[in-house]
A and B are shown apart, each in its own frame.
Chain A
């Protein structure tokens, strides 16, 4: 997938479930990574006020008292910390919440033994994405000769389609309905292609034709995370007054 993985030496996890916390600590220990496990975002803020040298924070989506989105804002605006925050979500949270307020990288629970490798790739993917354009309107502009109403309608259609299909994709993978998952990836691939979201196209292609069943959950998680970033940026840049 990626030729380069970002090195991680110290991770802060905000996790209220002791079993998940324990699984995560074990994975870190095996990878020689120091893990700081805290139960809520208040403890995390207190910790980070004094010790800022963590490479990565993983915050439960609905951590308290600040949820992951507010926690991230607090870090950036109040503590002036630009640390990567990955949000952990359950499959149910993804399926039941078609539009997350948490743009940015996400990981799905339960935490698995390969989580560290996945996080390294995720950070590198996030860096790559932020270094490049996450999507482009160039293709839509070309086919419509810059027709702004067509472009806007296409963006709304993109969101309507993907915000239904991605939770279905996650549900299928969770229930091990792999052929159905591949069929959904096949259906949404052209939508990403029309927005020139090349990494998303590549992931869909892998899901459809290259990846084994065992590899699908990780690819789907990455696609979900990437889609959240694209959707959030589209809404912010082009659909400010639209309710999608």
Chain B
């Protein structure tokens, strides 16, 4: 079955690029441009992987990770970050995030990290 991925990111350009790249890689992709919309999609469906920004409108990325790790512990989480966010990334890992990708993402690194995160969850 095609793995289903949710991307939550408020920068539309980054969001569309990730969506484009992951669809090309053969994944089923849903997107949300703020934390509230993202949380709503997580509650409605099940995802193998959630890729989320940390600084999001309405509901933060950390709150989303906390919810996922409590309610959907089998869902992998990759955090989208920018430089100088080390302390927030550390918080994300403490909450159970599996990996992180720096924006703007390196296309090869994205594919590698997504596949690795999905592989981790399968084992």
Contact = CB atoms under 8 A, between A and B. Distances in A.
B10 to A, nearest CB: 6
A244 interface: no
Contacts of B10: 187
Interface residues of A, number: 25
Interface in B38-93: 55, 82-84
B116 interface: no
A126 B84 CA distance: 28
Contacts of A232: none
Contact of B20 (A143, A188, A190): A143
A186 B103 CA distance: 11
A86 B73 CA distance: 57
Contacts of B12: 157, 160-161
A17 interface: no
Interface in A169-228: 183, 186-191, 193-194, 205, 208-209
Nearest to B10: A187
A111 B23 CA distance: 51
B3 interface: no
B13 interface: yes
Instruction: Give chain A's interface secondary structure class.
Output: helix
Interface residues of B, number: 17
Contacts of B21: 143-144
Interface in B3-25: 10-14, 16-17, 20-21
B16 to A, nearest CB: 6
Contact of A154 (B13, B84, B105, B107): B13
Given A190-B82, A191-B11, A205-B84, A154 B104 contact: no
Contacts of A161: 11-13
Given A154-B17, A183-B55, 18 more contacts: A139-B104, A142-B107, A144-B20, A147-B20, A157-B12, A157-B13, A158-B13, A187-B10, A187-B55, A188-B11, A189-B82, A190-B14, A190-B103, A190-B104, A193-B103, A194-B13, A205-B84, A208-B84
Interface of A: 139-140, 142-144, 147, 150, 153-154, 157-158, 160-161, 183, 186-191, 193-194, 205, 208-209
